[in-house]
Amino acid sequence: MRPWWRLRELFGGSRVRIGKRFSLQGRLTFRGPGTVVFGDDVTVMAHATPYTHSPDARITIGDRALINGTRFGCEREIRIGADTDVADARICDTDFHPLSRRRRTDHTLEPASGPVVVEDNVWIAAAVFICQGVTIGRDAVVGVASVVRKDVPPGRLWAGNPARDIGPVPD
């Protein structure tokens, strides 16, 4: 087992912080100047890509989270809570470009952005896309191939494109 400082160096230097008992069972590809923080007992499976797009960008993954091939695009902030399972999903806190028709000629336009917060004990299934400014409440489930554009209340199952409330998460 490599000492923690070797793992830190291997995974991108001081901009990557790795908690205790980190388990890498797949691959990680880091890009960008921001910070990525993994809590304790985090498991990364498949190929995850935490990309940051600004020096102030911060991706935080809580304790005991499972990240299974997730792709992150972070301009400001993405937070994944403790005990959360995230499958091969896409999470972005920015549109990367303005939606205006003038987007190619007016370089003063700013893309829409807002933090993405996934609270504790959430399950995000495969092929889900979570858009900027969304909060997914504690104990919620987001079904396969959903596009989440609005906040998901705690303890609710959401699915579809666009995602909508299906009902309470079963006990």
Asked if 119 and 81 touch (Cβ cutoff 8 Å), the reply is yes
Is 169 a member of any domain? no
Residue 28 sits at φ, ψ, to 5 deg, of -125, 135
User: What is the rounded CA–CA span in Å between residue 112 and residue 52?
Assistant: 16
Structural domain count of the chain: 1
Closest CA to 24 of 35, 13, 38, 5: 38
- Cα pseudo-dihedral 75, 72, 162, 114, rounded to 10: -20
Range of the domain at 122: 4-154
Over the stretch 102-144, which tens digit does the pLDDT of each residue have? 656 655 556 567 899 999 999 999 999 999 999 999 999 999 9
Is 60 a member of any domain? yes
Is 162 a member of any domain? no
pLDDT tier, 5 (very low <50, low <70, confident <90, very high otherwise)? very low
Is 77 a member of any domain? yes
Domain of 79: which CATH number?
2.160.10.10
Tokens of 91: 């999470």
Average per-residue pLDDT for the chain: 89
Is 171 a member of any domain? no
Asked if 145 and 126 touch (Cβ cutoff 8 Å), the reply is yes
Active site residues: 97
- Cα pseudo-dihedral 153, 78, 85, 16, rounded to 10: -160
Over the stretch 68-82, which tens digit does the pLDDT of each residue have? 999 999 999 999 999
